[in-house]
Structure 1
């Protein structure tokens, strides 16, 4: 049995999918980005005259995406500490990995209790964001 989760405190999905879906004892989150839930803006993106992103702040976007993940977890009755696996997509691995990794260390200071993590460098995401997370949580009963 599976059930879809919608989180009003998180940004709307950019496609026809739920924020998360529960299956058995696990919670699977759809890709979550750093867009602001109220304005749909991306934190600290700098746009050029043509509307394209010319600069971004990976630390600000990482804090924002973590807040959005937390909002989805809470809407599902789960907690930050229940995360067991995180896949991270960065659009600028060379430029952003160190900054993102520093913020990760703030949220997960002890590697022994941190979720498993895979980080991938990719060419683009569906909106003008620099980071997206795909998460799996194992909520405690």
Structure 2
């Protein structure tokens, strides 16, 4: 039986996880990213999101969030020894498919036109922080 040791990866330039999990985990020549959102490193700021005093979303800009989440994915990939071109599977979680899919799909096509990983996009009722998009990715190393 082949030994499939794994290694936790914490990307120093990526936003801190909001729970007890690594940014990614290496298993053999595969890299599994934990869910990645658009937050900025070192802050609870979410690009494109305006919150009220209680932390409820007043407004958000899905385009700004898409750019930020794609940037965060790239950072984690590169700091884990992989690259954008090595993505093989992407699961996308949107909180409002009807309002956001068209913009997200247009931006996705721009960012992923050359590597074209497999993709699944689903709508979810909510995400753990006040964000509208999160990506779950698998890449090769």
* TM-score in terms of structure 2 length: 0.92
Where does 1:1-141 land on structure 2 (aligned, <5 Å)?
Answer: 1-48=5-52, 50-110=54-114, 113-139=115-141
Give the 3-state SS of the residue equivalent to 2:66 in structure 1.
helix
Aligned pair count reads 137
CA distance in 2, matches of 1:51, 1:134: 24
CA distance in 2, matches of 1:54, 1:37: 22
CA distance in 2, matches of 1:35, 1:52: 16
CA distance in 2, matches of 1:74, 1:55: 31
Give the 3-state SS of the residue equivalent to 1:78 in structure 2.
coil
CA distance in 2, matches of 1:37, 1:48: 21
Q: 1:50 to 1:19 in 2, by over 3 A?
A: closer
**Which runs of 5 or more structure 1 residues have no equivalent in the other structure?**
none
Give the 3-state SS of the residue equivalent to 2:102 in structure 1.
helix
Is the 2:92–2:136 contact (alpha carbons within 8 Å) kept by the matching residues of 1? yes
